[in-house]
Amino acid sequence: MPEKTDVILGVDLGGTSLRAAALDRRNRILAVEKTPTQSGVAAAGLIKDIAANARNAVAAAGVPWTRVRAICAGVPGAVDSEHGIVYKAPNLGWENVRLAGKLESILSVPVFVENDVNAGTMAEYMLGAGKGMRNMIGIFVGTGIGGGLIFEGKLHEGYRGAAGEIGHMVLERNGPRCGCGKKGCVEALASRTAMERDVRTAIRHGAKSVVTEIMKERKRTRMTSSVIMRALAKRDPLMLQVMKRAQYHLGILVANLINTLDPEAVVIGGGIAERLAEAFVAPIRKTAWEYLLRQDGRERIKILPGILGDNAGALGAALLARRHLGQN
């Protein structure tokens, strides 16, 4: 790789994995580095992991660190993108973490901070399933559930920078406890974390399932998207039941968002959507259509799986870094 190549880094800090992508001037991915996200460690430890992952991605791209122009980190929670502060990230246990400043002191390049799903939504909007549209909602299903809003071609971040926290829309007032502390959030009903909770609870109460066997076989301590996919491929009755319930709640969420915002498209991303694609989205679409207030022309609103896969968050973070630098 020629040394004159400028690089932008996008980092996606997820609940289970940390991913850094190095992009060239044409937004081509030069290298991607992925490591597990350490659980139960202080913010300082994860910040060191982010820095190490970023350096490894640049080294893998074969580009000198001096050619890195900026880094943007996508974080699962409420952020102040202007000042680089993570106000609250429940799944990480973070509150008021000055991420940009701390990373800049380690890496000596400009660092920006954005919500991770805003980043993923921007990537799908500019380069993925939403390309060519003007109004789009992104929903990402993973450890948690988050959303991003594109209005008239621009990312809508809200008055306090907290727009798009759709995972904490309450669907069942007395439902299961969410990571945010409240009950009945969509995230507590339909995220991968919620699915794992429901599967483990059912197994403890005597239900039969191949999920634990698959996890042991693949040496997983968590019910990852690949574990879910394998269980579904084996037609595991418990996994099919839990997935059906999650898809139903996601369908209600999508209907509420369409009734409120009337977008051109809703793009659903995350590990499960990447692996199952239309098989995951079709039942969600069916439920959403049933609950739309305006039924005429409902098929015109596209409800689609994302196409950028697990790289969406890191890719979108890099695109947002360009926005902060004033680049197209």
Instruction: Note the pLDDT of residue 39.
Output: 77
User: Does any domain span residue 292?
Assistant: yes
Query: Both 214 and 150 in a single domain?
Result: yes
Domain count, the chain: 2
Query: Both 182 and 261 in a single domain?
Result: yes
Query: Both 236 and 112 in a single domain?
Result: no
Query: Both 171 and 43 in a single domain?
Result: no
Query: Both 76 and 160 in a single domain?
Result: no
Query: Both 133 and 174 in a single domain?
Result: yes
Query: Both 75 and 158 in a single domain?
Result: no
* Token duo for residue 170: 């309450």
User: Does any domain span residue 136?
Assistant: yes
Query: Both 106 and 171 in a single domain?
Result: no
Query: Both 292 and 203 in a single domain?
Result: yes
Distances from the Cα of 291 to the Cα of 38, 205, 288, 298, angstroms? 40, 33, 5, 11
Instruction: Note the pLDDT of residue 222.
Output: 87
User: Does any domain span residue 2?
Assistant: no
Q: What is the pLDDT along the chain (328 residues), one digit of tens a residue?
A: 445 578 999 999 987 789 999 999 888 999 999 998 887 788 889 999 999 999 999 999 999 999 999 999 999 888 888 899 998 887 788 889 999 999 999 999 999 999 999 999 999 999 999 999 999 999 999 888 999 999 999 999 888 777 888 999 999 999 999 988 899 999 999 999 999 999 999 999 999 999 999 999 988 888 988 899 999 999 999 999 999 999 999 999 999 999 999 999 999 998 889 889 999 999 999 999 999 999 998 999 999 999 998 889 999 999 999 988 886 5
User: Does any domain span residue 1?
Assistant: no
Query: Both 99 and 198 in a single domain?
Result: no
Instruction: Note the pLDDT of residue 1.
Output: 41
Which string of DSSP letters, residue by residue, matches 228-260?
A: HHHHHHTT-HHHHHHHHHHHHHHHHHHHHHHHH
Buried b (16+ CB within 10 A) or exposed e, 291-307: ebeeeeebeebebbbbb
**If you ran DSSP here, which 8-state letter would residue 178 be given?**
P
Instruction: Note the pLDDT of residue 219.
Output: 87
Query: Both 142 and 261 in a single domain?
Result: yes
Amino acid identity for residue 292 in this structure: L
User: Does any domain span residue 241?
Assistant: yes
What secondary structure, in 3-state letters, does 16-60 show? CEEEEEEECCCCCEEEEEEEECCCCCCHHHHHHHHHHHHHHHHHH
Instruction: Note the pLDDT of residue 328.
Output: 58
Range of the domain at 92: 7-120+311-325
Residue 70, domain CATH: 3.30.420.40
Query: Both 73 and 103 in a single domain?
Result: yes
